[in-house]
Amino acid sequence: MTSLDGFWFQQYIAFLKGIIKQTPRGALLIYLSDIPRLAANQHSGVEPLSFLMLFHSFLLSSVFVTLTCAFRYGREDLDVLGLTFRKDLFVANIQAFPPVPEDKKRLTRLQERLIKKLGEHAHPFTFEIPLNLPCSVTLQPGPEDTGKACGVDFEVKAFCSENVQDKIHKRNSVRLVIRKVQYAPEKPGPQPMAETTRQFLMSDKPLHLEASLDKEIYYHGEPISVNVHVTNNTNKTVKKMKISVRQYADICLFNTAQYRCPVATEETDDVVAPSSTFCKVYTLTPFLNNNREKRGLALDGKLKHEDTNLASSTLLREGANKEILGIIVSYKVKVKLVVSRGGDVHVELPFTLMHPKPIEDAIYRDGMFLLLCSIFTSQVFNVFLFSINQQNLTWSKMMNYNGPLIVFQLQTRRQ
């Protein structure tokens, strides 16, 4: 069978769950596989987003797809008189059909297999994401906040229109939010270490504080070990110690503002007497579950019906324009000594909190998500079950379905 009138897609036998969206009139239907809905930002470059679209060309004039990266810096319910607290950082438009010859890209392996199977109804296209775009970040709203949360997000929008500049109607379009994440670099930086010396009045010798971490890169949910060494040669007593993990979010828009938020804290009654030394390792684990009520906390881009985690550290490239990044996230461990009648002594240890690079797998290489856009007619077509793995693509007849389908297959391509 060479023609494709309609079908049902299964990305892999073990992963049948998905998310389905449709327009109010039911003219467009979107299906999203649960296998991850994101674009991966490697340290050497950003993986392109590759699609494959299938449809009956006699039903449509033109099909366009838009990828938008936007920074929302105000609550959605405050948008009035056509003014929105939103800044578009990147917008890319692609004419998916009819294809533009000069925009022809090199096909991925999955695209080649699908085109070979589906023939004339398959139309591939690809989004190239610039290297300097930010990752998806959401600022945690307060309990009474409504509307869309502030932060940086990415949106894919497919629509049928005569011209890309025409007004887009909901009945002819479908929107989907995706995430852009960045994985930890393979080579970590030097082990964080900081020290300070404090001289007190009426004391001949100083108080020396030294702190270090066991490594520079930590993964989400991983405990952080803080080694604290105190040499107290003064006549004062260290009454207690406070160790905290702090998140710093720099909002880069018109003016740069910084927000600090502790995400893990430990306060101990460890005492360091005069003319003595002290050494101990403290362990802290920053979790989002312990910080649900903190308004303005930076989180990794959140998808509907999914949980998330603390925002990953932003890796800045040399010469990068900070205004395009929107929100820059960093983390530090602060070690503070409370000294009797002498004030506080503290040091800060910067570190990186990120996701580990996932293990190479055929599922992640070959499939990302797909969009199904259904234009209903009175005709009845066959529906097929697709099974994709690293070696081949197969289908089998499942059921009958009213209406042809437009399908966008998004996948990653490892470099």
pLDDT in the model for residue 304 = 58
CB 165 within 8 A of CB 328: no
The SS3 of residue 241 is strand
CA count, 13 A, side-chain hemisphere, 248: 17
Supply 170's token pair. 């909901």
Q: What is the pLDDT of residue 230?
A: 94
Q: Are 155 and 178 in contact (CB under 8 A)?
A: yes
- The values of phi and psi at residue 6, to 5°, are 180, 155
Amino acid at 266: E
Q: Which among 163, 179, 200, 156 has a CA at the least distance from the CA of 371?
A: 156
pLDDT in tens, the chain (415 residues): 333 333 333 332 222 233 444 445 444 443 333 333 444 454 455 555 554 544 445 445 677 888 888 888 765 555 555 566 778 888 888 887 777 766 666 776 766 776 676 666 566 667 777 778 888 888 887 767 666 778 888 888 877 777 777 777 777 777 777 788 888 888 888 999 999 999 888 788 899 999 999 999 999 989 999 999 999 998 889 999 999 999 999 888 766 678 899 999 999 999 999 989 999 999 999 988 888 888 888 998 766 556 688 999 988 877 777 778 888 999 999 999 999 887 889 999 999 999 887 765 333 333 333 333 333 333 333 333 333 333 333 333 333 333 333 333 333 333 3
> What per-residue confidence (pLDDT) applies to 368?
33
CA 329/CA 352 separation, integer angstroms: 10
Q: Residue 37 has what pLDDT?
A: 43
Type and span of the H or E element at 342: none
d(C-alpha 353, C-alpha 161), whole Å: 43
DSSP designation for 58: G
The three state secondary structure string of 246-315 is: EEEEEEECCCEEEEEEEEEEEEECCCECCCEEEEEEEEECCCHHHHCCCCCCEEECCCCCCCCCECCCCC
Distance CA 52, CA 50 (A): 7
The pLDDT assigned to 196 comes to 94
Measured between alpha carbons, how far is 209 from 232 in angstroms, rounded to an integer? Answer: 8
- Residue 312: partners with Cβ closer than 8 Å, 6 or more residues away: 135, 181, 182, 220, 300, 329, 353, 354, 355
Containing 87, the helix (H) or strand (E) segment is: strand 86-97
Pairwise CA distance, residues 268 & 97, whole Å: 65
DSSP letter at 162 equals: S
Distance CA 323, CA 369 (A): 30
**Predicted structure pTM score:** 0.72
- Hey, which residues does 211 pair with through a beta bridge? 194, 228
